[in-house]
Amino acid sequence: MIVLATHAWIWWVSSPNMLSEYCKRAIQVASEEGQIYVSSISVWEVAHLVKRGRLELTMDVDDWLRHGEALPEIHFVPVSHNIALKSVHLPDFPSTDPADRIVVATALALGAPLVTMDEHMQAYGQVATIW
């Protein structure tokens, strides 16, 4: 079981060459087990990045997200009240970005490692990371 940070999810689907070999292997194993998790906040982030022109996809964002939802190995995790609360109470988390905090809180709630190249997330000792 793994949780993909937003950028890891985008790269896995659209540009796998951006991922490290170690990440690719971890994602492959989790995929075969049907154990890839993505926070619903990542859906918001993707749509927001596209709208602001900071991310270009090969298709309309709605279609891209529908394609992602159709993959049987991916499970989207809603931002529950427990995850939202946990995201606020991450002791010494080095970023104020709410989406980053929710992604980390999701991984913690699931007890799963987080696939990320984000240095803030990697530096946070409370969550195991893969890169």
Structural domain boundaries in the chain: 2-130
| Structure confidence at residue 75 (pLDDT) | 97
What's the average model confidence in pLDDT over 87-101? Answer: 94
Quick: pLDDT tens for 33-72.
999 999 999 999 999 999 999 999 999 999 999 998 999 9
Tokens 């803030």 identify what position?
Answer: 120
| Structure confidence at residue 86 (pLDDT) | 97
Quick: pLDDT tens for 98-108.
999 999 999 99
Name the pTM for this structure: 0.95
CATH class of 2-130: alpha beta
| Structure confidence at residue 107 (pLDDT) | 98
